[in-house]
Structure 1
Amino acid sequence: MRGRVLVRGGAVVAAMATVGLGGYFAAVGLDEADKLASVIGVFVALAGLAVAVYGLVAERHGGEGEPSPRSSTPGDRSIAIAGDHTGIASTGDRTTNRQSR
């Protein structure tokens, strides 16, 4: 849920920035807008480079989301499942499984 809020918030900020810059560029003229766009482009490129370096460093230090190589289960009839999975799993005696559609 938090990820969706961040994505939507980022999209709103990007849209507002695009509209604002478009209006500003139209008001100041094409020559001045070109100069300012070049400066903004440099800062966006530097920010992208910083994010890329951060991602590489985080990946080297074992970032989040890596599956654990082994799962431990607390009891005799416990089940540990990793990755994508579908189906039914039963651990009890004389268990009846029904799959509804």
Structure 2
Amino acid sequence: MRREEVAQLAGISVDWYTWLEQGRNIHVSTQVLEDVARVLQLSINEKRHMFLLAEQAIPIESIENKFQISSSLQYFLDYQNPIPAYVTNSRWDFVAWN
């Protein structure tokens, strides 16, 4: 993905995104970091690393929401026993199984 595309999808200017990439001394908000992580489809570890580089703590809710599925989906998975079933996220990480 090109810089222009990432910046546009994250809702920030190309210059601001370039400065963020270059590690310039700018004050970036948690929301901007969250948006960039979403656009780049970062894993939780990659997201933690990005927040560490930005000298910010990763929001707890972004960690918790990453691994939750609805109770009805978990019930469906459990009902599939003895047939193996699982749910993956957009990065093909297993997030739930029976």
- Assess same fold via TM > 0.5: no
Question: TM class, shorter-chain normalised?
Answer: under 0.3
Length-normalised TM-score, structure 1: 0.24
RCO higher in structure (CA 8 A, sep ≥6): 2
Length-normalised TM-score, structure 2: 0.24
More strand by share: 2
